[in-house]
Amino acid sequence: MWNPQQRKEGIKRLVPLIPPKLLSYMIKFYEQVHSYDVRYTAHLYTTVQKYTLLRVASKAVKILSDGPALPLFLAFYYFGGNPAPFFFAAYSLFWVFYHELGIKKIFQRHRPQTAGEQPGFSFPSSHAFTSGFAITSAFFFVFPWETVLVTFGILNAINRPAVGVHYIADVIAGLLLGAIASLGWVFTLGIAAVPLP
């Protein structure tokens, strides 16, 4: 999802490369998806805020995901006896930081108004990226409390628009990118010519 504020500039760059009719369809499709994204994100947020139990649970998940979730995930990988735990930590952190400092800067989509003073750009969600990475890794590696890890990963992703700091499209994109990054680690282990510590 491009940042709507920069849509006109993006269209000007694309015009010489895409036939006008196709460009027109692309613009209409983008605007339709964007309107659904904004509408359903707002609906999810207002529903969660309406009920005290959902609101408190949502804040608890946000606190856990903002702090101990990633270090615990890396520790679980280590204690599960999986290969190359220190390289895995470096690989994971590289992708998290590249996602936060690189990919988000390409799209520069602003957060929803409900995000308040939350810093940074919105698309794609870094928390959802980490969730996608953790959930996909759980299919290939051994983790203590694997069911809890996968459940928390799903809750963490759903929770981002629920607390009003991301759009739904941000979360979907983050989950997909996290899954791809995790599969990259599986591929790296498969082609490694030397044993990693």
The CATH number of whichever domain residue 63 belongs to comes to: 1.20.144
The domain tally of the chain equals 1
Residues of the domain holding 52: 4-191
The residue type at 182: S
Does residue 197 sit within a domain?
Answer: no
Q: How far apart are CA 75 and CA 119, in angstroms?
A: 28
CB 149 within 8 A of CB 132: no
| Residue 155, H or E segment | helix 146-162
pLDDT digits over 53-93, tens only?
888 888 888 888 877 888 888 888 888 888 888 888 888 88
CB 42 within 8 A of CB 103: no
Q: How far apart are CA 191 and CA 197, in angstroms?
A: 15
The residue type at 36: Y
pLDDT digits over 142-185, tens only?
888 888 888 888 888 888 888 888 888 888 888 899 999 888 88
